[in-house]
Structure 1
Amino acid sequence: MSDGAGSVTLINERENMPAGNKAQDATEQLIETLTNLPGASSFEASVRDKVIELWKESIGSITVDRVGNVVAEIKPGEPDKDRLTVLIMAHMDETGFIVSKIDENGFIRARPLGGWIDHVLWGHLWHITVGDRTIEAITGMDAPHVLTDFDSPPAVSSAQLFFDTGLSRERLLELGVRPGLPITPAANFRVLDSGRRYAAKALDDRAPLAMMTELLGEIKRNPEPYRNLNVVFAATVQEEVGMRGATALAGDVDPDVILNAEMGVAKDYPTQFTTDDTPELGKGPALFAYDGSMLPSPRLVDFIYKLAQRENIPTQWESEVQYGHDASSLQLSGRGVHAINIGLPVRYGHSHWGIMDRQDYDLMLKLFAATLRELSAEAL
């Protein structure tokens, strides 16, 4: 941390939050709770338990399928074959690693769960989850002193990656460390000194999952505007390893419309590898016009875009090639589904720290609620 001009200070306290704004504090605490939980792909149990606990406050009908997806369904009144079924989805898992080997000196090798760029992996603190115990590890790299050419260090790859706990192989085995255990970033939620921007791991996709939780509460408190819909909420597993969890939903959920809540890839920072500069933090949720896994329903895109304009909800457009999400696993199921991906802009995705803007979150919640009310009032 630095006190220099233009620096960003990370703080743990909520002292800079507006006094008396309980709704804001509650939202912040919800995002903090969900992002701090460990939940690599296939190891989402702690997140799932918290989601069930939170959702039970708003709905009693919650199921967990065999792969671990959490599904909650709101059916107002008697069954109606003409009533639209809208599926709202976000995934519980985060990018991480899985232990593959402990060598004779106690250094741990691991394989990635989800997409990592090699250069973000070194010099970080990680958590290895062993039952209810957490063991800390560091991803180490040669000190610059050993390099023959300090100005031109050699390229590195994840093949060189190892995790150093400072413990011997024998001690690790005593503690229960073995192949098949998850490793996740050790990076607890922080409020930046603006008070409206948050830094955390797993904003992809825990922040949209928090938004869904608040949306579920809104429907519970005020059900009338949504009474012509069947609304299904799904918190999915294993999205980061090929959208596997969502595939299992196809047999149990037959939606007419999918609103997928995801991370948008914010690019409003100095140029590195991309020359694009949108979406930006603070400019609203991103409507995906295209991504590498799915072409969205043109009717649904147009429907939501025009609705956002009428409701004065700022939105941005986003298009990504190296990108996939859960809605793509269900779009072509059954008779086909009207599907769209809506992103919460986050800087530095798939690394230890992402940064989001609270205004984008609030606008995303507003857009999802308005879309449901509009779908309830008139058919797509």
Structure 2
Amino acid sequence: MKKEIRILLVVGVVMAVIGCILSGILILEYFEPGNKIGGTLCSANNDISACTKVAVSPYSGFRDIPLLGDIPVALLGFIFYGFAGTVFVLAYRSEESEQNTHLSFLLFTLGLGVVADIGLLIVSMFLIKTVCTLCVYTYFVTFALFGITFVIVQKDGLKMDSIFTGFSKQKVPYFLIVCAFFAVGHIFGNSVKPSHSHSISDESERKKKIENDLKMYGNAPKVDIDTKSYPFAGDKNAPITIVKYADFNCGHCMHTSHILKMILAEYTGIVKVVYKNFPLDGNCNRFVQRLMPDASSCVAASASICADRQGKFMPVYSGIYSDTEKGVMHTISSVTQIASSSGLNMGQFQKCMGSNDTREQILKEVEEAGKLKIESTPSLFVNNKPIPSGTPDVDFLRELIKQLMK
């Protein structure tokens, strides 16, 4: 075998491994939309990750298949790239005649993959109406693998065997390869899937709680909440508005931000989220006795306000919660670093952080929260009515949105 052919086969294996890694991240995004890894690697717009929007769409997988459960499209990609990489390895280690069999069938398979990716891109652009960056990376990998295989065939002067004759010779090992990667991908998917109790009694109690919470919401009086000139995500004309009062050091608030990101992706044009501060820090909140070290929660709230004044709220908001997830205590230094990496004018930012206007803005939001009798975070209001405080139940939110859309 020519040295150049060997190098191309190795490059093919490397590209296939990259494809498997990308598919693994997309599997994670399917089962846990808005996760940190996918959010970091995928482009975002107004806190609605394109990858998340694709992941929650009905085109992202085959749901509730008997005995198998959910099968995300990304799992098929994982199998595809795993199969391609393994066949490259087999071709590398084979004699010329057997190599010809492997490469002829692989070229055919990759050709189908190219067609499938074009179809997925069309669905993404015209039906889901967004393009997932990670998905595009996998399309490039597919085209690269096809190109590498085609070049090998041309350079080595291989005579293409009958595709199906080649397949018949290797159908058992090929079938085993597919089964192996399906098993690995499926196990991985189940391992990252959020666990839910399968207890009938627990599920029954959960449904009762959702029903009770919906009744409580229906009976609750509307309250006055000022949403003008506050940072928000989603369509400004959306008929459903969720107002979130939060503290940047609150773990439940951080988790709620992921849930709301998923809701925004699921209900594009229907829901918008308005963000307000209620720092659980006596340094800037008269309703709280506890003083956070270095006024951490107040510093984070100030940074979000100053970022909003430069039109950079969402990158800074996400960056602060990313630090929260890492266990970083928010300080002037940490938020300044986030602001700098988010492209803010640092002179304006530093001046804003110490200004009376910023302190008065926090006080205004805190006083409004006090009138609403908010005592903990996160506290959410949907169309000016409160829902149970704490991390919201995703199914409750979905049911509530369905009711409000009627």
**Fold shared by both chains (TM-score > 0.5):** no
Q: Which structure ranks higher in relative contact order (CA pairs < 8 Å, sequence separation ≥ 6)?
A: 1
Structure 1 or 2: larger strand share?
A: 1
Scaled to the shorter chain, the TM-score interval is under 0.3
